[in-house]
Structure 1
Amino acid sequence: MSTARLRQHVADILSLADIEINGPDPWDLQIHNPAFYKRVLQQGTLGLGESYMEGWWDCQQLDEFFYRALRADLYKRARLSWRGKLDVLLARISNRQTKQKAVENIHRHYDIGNRLYQRMLDRRMTYTCGYWKEATSLDQAQEDKMDLICRKIGLQPGQRVLDIGCGWGSFAKFAAERYGAEVVGITISHEQLALGRQLCEGLPIELRFQDYRDIHEPFDHIVSIGMAEAVGHRNMRTYMQVAARCLHNEGFFLLHTIGHPFSKTAPDPFIDTYIFPNCLIPSLKQLSRAMEHLFIVEDLHNFGPHYDPTLMAWHRNFTSHWQELKQEYDERFYRMWTYYLLSSAGSFRARNNQLWQLVLSKKGVLGGYTSIR
């Protein structure tokens, strides 16, 4: 097929989302390399992302491009490359989040340099969705989110909390300082652990390098904030079983996770290759099946639209500090990270991705649980 016909085919697809090739609007694609058309038609989302990283095309407002493309369901027209098809098959027949593989997966995203995250995130270094109900800044949105979690589990002074996937200890530090809790946080990122221990020094907090499958101690409450996406569908039942065995009968397990409206067994090829290796956004079906006979769902809160302003704030911080960060990262990384942040913002804006907080109990709250927003 000629380049002209390939271009027209891509243009016809994009027109369904009111996107033009070399058009005047900020969400239109500006194509610099005509090989783009064949590549994106053959390789789908992987080809789209890689060609952006390589400078084959630009877009003034990537977030708006992805919002329009996803809202118009253009992803349904994307083709999987041979590698993408292989990844789907392997994900169905193998466990890509074993203990050893999990460490490798986390290392490739979270151990690429604490300075990047220090410049990009809020002052507490919280790498999950903020809560913008009343907040006007990223710092406040993240503190409001952590306070919301503490209130949802009814956290009291002296209670012992397990934080599965604690990151740099932002929730642990907040819960200890504001609520007088004792917190055990676990991570399998060496970089997170080293800095997190410094940030939490002097507080009743223990941060460990430990896989969630190796936890056997009792806790008053358990939280897992932005960790379930790294568990994988083959391990979700084990993840829930660990939480159930470690949680006191009267305690709560608060699960905060990105969610997808339908079940998948393999991630997006671009995200899998460059951003979050072997991570998988769960569906409610996958979560509910994993918690059968273990937990009662007391509350489900979807505030997915709050991830859009969170990601846009991260992108502003990232770009405003790029002159400093470029000493450690190259232009290809800049385009990759920009693509990741803005495509994610567009996805949440289009409601293609969700953000759920589930409050779970082991036996059910007698008389019912009062939802907190």
Structure 2
Amino acid sequence: MRTELTGCTDTQANQTKAHRFVQGLLKSAGLSMNGCAPFDMTLLGDGVPEAALSRGNLGLGEAYMAGLWDSQELDEFFSRLMRSGVTDTVNPFAIILHALSAKFTNRQTQDKAWEVGQRHYDLGNDFYASMLDGRMTYTCGYWKDASTLEEAQNAKLDLICRKLDLKPGMKVLDIGCGWGSFMSYAAEHYGVECVGVTISKEQSEWAKNRYSHLPIEFRLQDYRDLNEQFDHIVSVGMFEHVGRKNHRVYMETANRCLKDDGLFLLHTIGKNISKTAPDPWIDKYIFPNGDLPSIAQIATSIEGLFVAEDLHNFGADYDKTLMAWFDNFEQHWPLFSAELGERFYKMWKYYLLSCAGAFRARDIQLWQWVLSKKGVMGGYSRVS
């Protein structure tokens, strides 16, 4: 469902200097302020250009949540904005301070690591069940031969199993197991045993009840406390919460827990440039203390610990996944509107559609790394 906006003109009268500057930035991205295209920005209140220039995406997102602007196609608005590169020209002091904090402090200590579970993943299982597929898979689907969200998520889970060449009786560790989508699929279709760790109480309790019949174990535990060996390891959509200060510790943990002939599959969102800070709006409202890694940062973190056998990028598939989640969110929102309220609706819509736009613009990526401890003899065969 798209919000219908009215008004296709923007007069020069009473425009502030900030207004004119932002209008110029939007024009260079193929966008207009109060234009007629469905992806254009429509101003519904005052102060939006000033908020965007002074606080970047934090100011823009908070203005959106306050109902001060909108776009019929918010996803395409962000896709065009990010693809153009104009956002790189806006670097307010508030963002510089945020970048310095990310660079010099460890925002993902063992105490802080639990915050994202409490604030994001523990929103409520019913809410996530209404948005996700049947297995509650909250990561990118694999749409190569899929036409529905369910098919795409099952294809992604099967792709991981095949990349690891899972066999009955193997024991697999899932770091950041979520609601157990991978572990349940692998146990049901490949006959393996699994141990998963999560920092979300809601996820752990739901999964334990749902999959009590399968040989899988759920632990409410920080990954740094792991100290036992497994045939293979997976981590799907968790590395984004580790933080650059902890990349090496994370990889040392995985190395310690992996048998010498095992494989480690790392599935993570990633960024194109290392020297960038976490998005301040996403950090404040969606994923506190999150930090997307770059290829260079991952490569540095595995040096001397793992051989990179394979790197597979299907980031464009996250656009489709997020749009499918948004469609489900819109469809089921009446069930949660009274409890969560209009501000939450706008926040969640901004989150899902701005991220879809970012992946569409190829501003961020989705990688699957296959890592071995000593190198696969004869070479690793790519599975697709």
Question: Normalised by the size of structure 2, how large is the TM-score?
Answer: 0.95
Match of 1:17 in 2: 29
Q: Following the alignment from structure 2 to structure 1, what is the Cα–Cα distance between the partners of residues 276 and 251?
A: 18
Match of 1:128 in 2: 139
2:220 to 209, 214, 219: 209
Answer whether contact 1:182 1:205 (CA < 8 A) is retained: yes
Q: How many residues align?
A: 371
Detail structure 1 runs of 4+ shifted over 4 Å in the superposition.
none
Question: What is the letter of the counterpart of residue 227 of structure 1?
Answer: M
2:155 to 134, 140, 144: 144
Where do 5+ consecutive residues of structure 1 fail to align? none
Tell me the CA shift for residue 93 of structure 1.
Answer: 1.9
Is the partner of 1:321 in helix, strand or coil? helix
Question: Structure 2 matches for 1:173-192, cutoff 5 A?
Answer: 173-192=184-203
Is the partner of 1:192 in helix, strand or coil? helix
1:29 to 41, 56, 64: 41
Question: Structure 2 matches for 1:160-309, cutoff 5 A?
Answer: 160-264=171-275, 266-309=277-320
Question: What is the letter of the counterpart of residue 332 of structure 1?
Answer: R
Q: Following the alignment from structure 1 to structure 2, what is the Cα–Cα distance between the partners of residues 54 and 223?
A: 40
Q: Following the alignment from structure 2 to structure 1, what is the Cα–Cα distance between the partners of residues 366 and 148?
A: 19
Q: Following the alignment from structure 2 to structure 1, what is the Cα–Cα distance between the partners of residues 129 and 243?
A: 28
Q: Deviations over 1:20-73 (max 9, x none)?
A: 011000110010113112121111111110000000001000000000001101
Answer whether contact 2:117 2:201 (CA < 8 A) is retained: no
Tell me the CA shift for residue 266 of structure 1.
Answer: 2.8
Answer whether contact 1:26 1:59 (CA < 8 A) is retained: yes
Q: Following the alignment from structure 2 to structure 1, what is the Cα–Cα distance between the partners of residues 219 and 146?
A: 32
Is the partner of 2:338 in helix, strand or coil? coil
Match of 1:108 in 2: 119
Question: What is the letter of the counterpart of residue 147 of structure 1?
Answer: D
Match of 1:325 in 2: 336
Q: Following the alignment from structure 1 to structure 2, what is the Cα–Cα distance between the partners of residues 324 and 264?
A: 41
Match of 1:56 in 2: 68
Q: Following the alignment from structure 2 to structure 1, what is the Cα–Cα distance between the partners of residues 324 and 52?
A: 29
C-alpha RMSD over aligned residues: 1.0
Match of 2:89 in 1: 77
Match of 2:321 in 1: 310
Tell me the CA shift for residue 198 of structure 1.
Answer: 1.3
2:367 to 356, 359, 362: 356
Answer whether contact 2:53 2:92 (CA < 8 A) is retained: no
Q: Following the alignment from structure 2 to structure 1, what is the Cα–Cα distance between the partners of residues 51 and 372?
A: 49
* Pair 1:38 & 2:43 matched: no
Q: Deviations over 1:302-351 (max 9, x none)?
A: 00000000000000000000100113211000000000000000000010
Answer whether contact 1:265 1:280 (CA < 8 A) is retained: no
Identical counterparts, % of pairs: 55
Question: What is the letter of the counterpart of residue 156 of structure 1?
Answer: K
Q: Deviations over 1:221-256 (max 9, x none)?
A: 000000100000000000000000110111100000
Is the partner of 1:259 in helix, strand or coil? strand
Answer whether contact 1:45 1:78 (CA < 8 A) is retained: no
Q: Deviations over 1:142-188 (max 9, x none)?
A: 00000000000010001000000000011110000000010000001
Q: Following the alignment from structure 1 to structure 2, what is the Cα–Cα distance between the partners of residues 317 and 264?
A: 35
Tell me the CA shift for residue 81 of structure 1.
Answer: 4.4
Q: Following the alignment from structure 1 to structure 2, what is the Cα–Cα distance between the partners of residues 116 and 148?
A: 27
Q: Following the alignment from structure 2 to structure 1, what is the Cα–Cα distance between the partners of residues 96 and 16?
A: 28
Tell me the CA shift for residue 301 of structure 1.
Answer: 0.3
Answer whether contact 1:92 1:265 (CA < 8 A) is retained: no
Question: Normalised by the size of structure 1, how large is the TM-score?
Answer: 0.98
Match of 1:47 in 2: 59
Q: Following the alignment from structure 1 to structure 2, what is the Cα–Cα distance between the partners of residues 78 and 119?
A: 37
